[in-house]
Amino acid sequence: HRLLMEELPGAEVLVVSNREPYIHNRVDGEIVLQRPASGLVSALEPVMRACGGTWIAHGSGSADRDTVDRNDRVPVPPGDPTYMLRRVWLSDEEQDGYYYGLANEGLWPLCHISFVRPIFRDEDWRRYRAVNERFADAVVQEASRDDPIVLVQDYHFALLPRMIRERLPRATVITFWHIPWPNAETFSICPWREEIIDGLLGSTILGFHTRFHCNNFLEAADRFMESRIDREHASVTLGGHETMVRAYPISIEWPPSALAGQAPVAECRAAVIGRFGLPPDAHIAVGVERFDYTKGLLDRIHAVDDLLGTHPEWRGKFVYLQAASPTRSKLGAYSALQAETVRLAEEVNARHGRDGYTPIVLSIRHHEPTEVFEIFRAADLCIVSSLHDGMNLVAKEFVAARDDEQGVLVLSGFAGASRELSEALIVNPYDTRSMAAAMDAALRMSTAEQRERMHLMRDMVRQRNVYRWAAQMLLDAARLRKRARILAGA
Ligand code: G6P
């Protein structure tokens, strides 16, 4: 907030994302609030709470419309509002084409190298473009000046930066791509590769989590566009407009609000053991994610199977608790994963379990942030085994939850977070045997070593928190705005 006042006086901040930060659902006649399971939302919501402004998103809750006052806007957070939520209502057809289709059956598997074949349908592309237009109109409606700072979020809106630039040429558009960007050859299979890159190059600043993803993007722009690439300054110029391409590793708020009011670790442990029916003296490993095929859920269960097979001393003592929130279940790849996970867990439980001992416990439902933090605090180890992941904020949340400096993080080397959290036990989720070995090492790690590793990781997340992520982008934007003013005056 201070940074905005000092560096960008009078600036107006608008955020655009598909997912809204607060979903209002109607349950038995009552309105119940839900905080969605979304790394994007966990990161951006505290920033908006601090900065104020307007967040434009698709209204997805069953009672969203009931909570809207005038003109589809509602002040949030409920109870203590600091910014405005503006909902855009999408029809089922728009959702099918733009969200389920192009975004989640096309771009999601395209950008995550997870061996799920991307599907590209012309009809989805048309809807995607049309929905991007609708959000561009919403940005213009919400902007009270002709030079707002618009924070465009994620792969749902690749075309939006260009559309905003056409409508509001003086806007500063900061686009953040929350998922990986693949190499140029992989990206080139997308039938609309030029349009997507062109759309993104409407941005003033284009951010990715890692340098590697920036380089992949620059390579694609170089190959498919008539653009000039300046590798020294990491920028792309197309049609006289320059876009800075930078790495801004995303993070979480510090201190995390879900940590406030948490019971001591021993009480969290007792609560989780009671709620999920775990043995009282269990060594507990946890995984917390959306039920998504990029997260390596099956690979993790295979590793548990291997651990209990090769280290029978853990049978009866070790449990793996998987909290998995159903997501995008309308899509075949997602419902199939859910069914296969349940089947595989039953098979492994039958192999290694016995009366009163179930090695794998699945909790398939939505989990609110405070419950997630309680689960983290109850765990001896947390496993993040993404096959490919932009950053992965679960890894950072686990670290943030452990103010007792205990617990071991087993982390995939294919998650952006592994670049920063190098004191985790870094694994290759495709290598079952080594993942089982890492779990075994984690279970045997001394409390002193756990403390040393956790201490370093907590320092990292504390320093590189999400306010710093936002501040770095806003400071870069402030510099570019000042420079543009100087150049305009010259
Ligand atoms: C990833 C994406 C976000 C998305 C989240 C949840 O983190 O980068 O844009 O919000 O998944 O997915 P969903 O489709 O439920 O919003």
For residues 472 and 307, what is the distance between their CA atoms, to the nearest angstrom? 43
What DSSP state is assigned to residue 147? S
Contact predicate 88/59, CB 8 Å: yes
Backbone torsions φ then ψ of 354, nearest 5 degrees? -160, 180
Cα(104) to centroid(ligand 1), Å: 9
pLDDT at residue 64, as a whole number: 80
Nearest CA, atom 14, ligand 1:
328
pLDDT at residue 5, as a whole number: 79
For residue 135, give the 3-state DSSP assignment. helix
Cα(354) to centroid(ligand 1), Å: 38
Cα(19) to centroid(ligand 1), Å: 7
What DSSP state is assigned to residue 264? P
For residues 401 and 334, what is the distance between their CA atoms, to the nearest angstrom? 29
For residue 150, give the 3-state DSSP assignment. strand
Contact predicate 54/86, CB 8 Å: yes
Nearest CA, atom 4, ligand 1:
38
Please give the number of the atom of ligand 1 that sits closest to the Cα of 36. Answer: 15
Please give the number of the atom of ligand 1 that sits closest to the Cα of 156. Answer: 9
Q: What is the 3-state secondary structure (H, E, C) of 50-69?
A: HHCCEEEEECCCCCHHHHCC
- Would you tell me how many other CB atoms lie within 10 Å of the CB of residue 227? 20
Please give the number of the atom of ligand 1 that sits closest to the Cα of 178. Answer: 8
**Alpha carbons within 13 A on the beta-carbon side of 38:** 19
Report ipTM for this prediction.
Answer: 0.98
For residues 173 and 16, what is the distance between their CA atoms, to the nearest angstrom? 11
Protein residues with CB under 6 Å of any ligand 1 atom: 19, 38-40, 154, 178-179, 290, 327-328
User: What is the residue whose two structure tokens read 């370093």?
Assistant: 456
Contacts of 100 (CB under 8 A, 6+ apart): 328, 330, 331
**Alpha carbons within 13 A on the beta-carbon side of 158:** 23
Cα(113) to centroid(ligand 1), Å: 17
Task: Identify which of 55, 95, 157, 178 to mutate to test ligand 1's pocket (most ligand atoms within 8 A of the CB).
Answer: 178
Nearest CA, atom 12, ligand 1:
38
Task: Give pLDDT tens digits for 182-208.
Answer: 999 999 999 999 999 999 999 999 999
Nearest CA, atom 10, ligand 1:
38
| Under-70 pLDDT residues of the chain | 68-71, 490
Q: Would you give the distance in Å from CA 355 to the centre of its chain?
A: 39
Cα(477) to centroid(ligand 1), Å: 25
- Per the structure block, which two tokens stand in for 406? 């205990």
Nearest CA, atom 11, ligand 1:
38
**Alpha carbons within 13 A on the beta-carbon side of 305:** 16
Cα(282) to centroid(ligand 1), Å: 33
- In this structure, which amino acid lies at residue 105? E
pLDDT at residue 380, as a whole number: 98
Cα(176) to centroid(ligand 1), Å: 13
Please give the number of the atom of ligand 1 that sits closest to the Cα of 153. Answer: 9
Cα(39) to centroid(ligand 1), Å: 7
